[in-house]
Amino acid sequence: MPYQSHFAHADQVIAHLGGLRGPQLDPLLEAKYVGFAVIACVTVFEMAIKDILVSFADKKHRIFGTFVQHRCERMNGRIQIDTLKDDYIRQFGDKYVRRFDRNLAASAKAVLQSKRRDIRASYKNLITWRHAFAHAGVTSANATWDEAIQAYEDGKEVIRCFDLTLAR
């Protein structure tokens, strides 16, 4: 299954919750909508990352793919960029870490120039907002609906770089 298919779940949640928004919506309820949306976004990122890792390993060897699949069962939201590099990519060799760094740097530079956003910061913020909402029920005072959706779109680019790094 291509990793992008997982994005449909979060896209549907965003479309539904986005349709409920409006000027009459209580700001506290809107903050909860942001929390629900970021949980969906980070969840699909985690599923996409697992698929990418298992697919890569499976193409190397079927038994290796099974091993990686079982290891990914313990991922539990550990998908920060440094974690992706140090805990996952590095296991395949330093050449993949360098490739990921190059891919991410090139993409970050392009997005920064074209959209004036840092995809790495957006991705990190999304995971931070998800953690705060999922584990403490806290919604970030500085995370608006538009910022969360923008961070999700930027995060998709980080996932694309991850996939590009492990493409065979």
pLDDT the model gives residue 1: 54
If one counts every other C-beta atom within 10 angstroms of the C-beta of residue 73, the result is 8
| Residue that the structure tokens 């949980």 belong to | 39
The length of the chain, given as a count of residues: 168
**By percentage, how much of the chain surpasses pLDDT 70?**
98
Q: Using one digit for the tens of pLDDT, what is the confidence trace for 37-94?
A: 999 999 999 999 999 998 888 888 888 778 778 777 777 778 999 999 999 999 899 9
Mean pLDDT of the chain: 90
The pTM assigned to this predicted structure is 0.91
| pLDDT above 80 for 142 | no
All residues at 6 or more sequence positions from 33 whose CB lies less than 8 Å from its CB, including other chains:
17, 20, 21, 145
All residues at 6 or more sequence positions from 35 whose CB lies less than 8 Å from its CB, including other chains:
129, 130, 133, 134, 137, 139
Determine contact, residues 43/56, Cβ cutoff 8 Å: no
Q: Using one digit for the tens of pLDDT, what is the confidence trace for 144-160?
A: 999 999 999 999 999 99
What helix, strand, coil percent values describe the chain, rounded to 5? 80, 0, 20
| pLDDT above 60 for 119 | yes
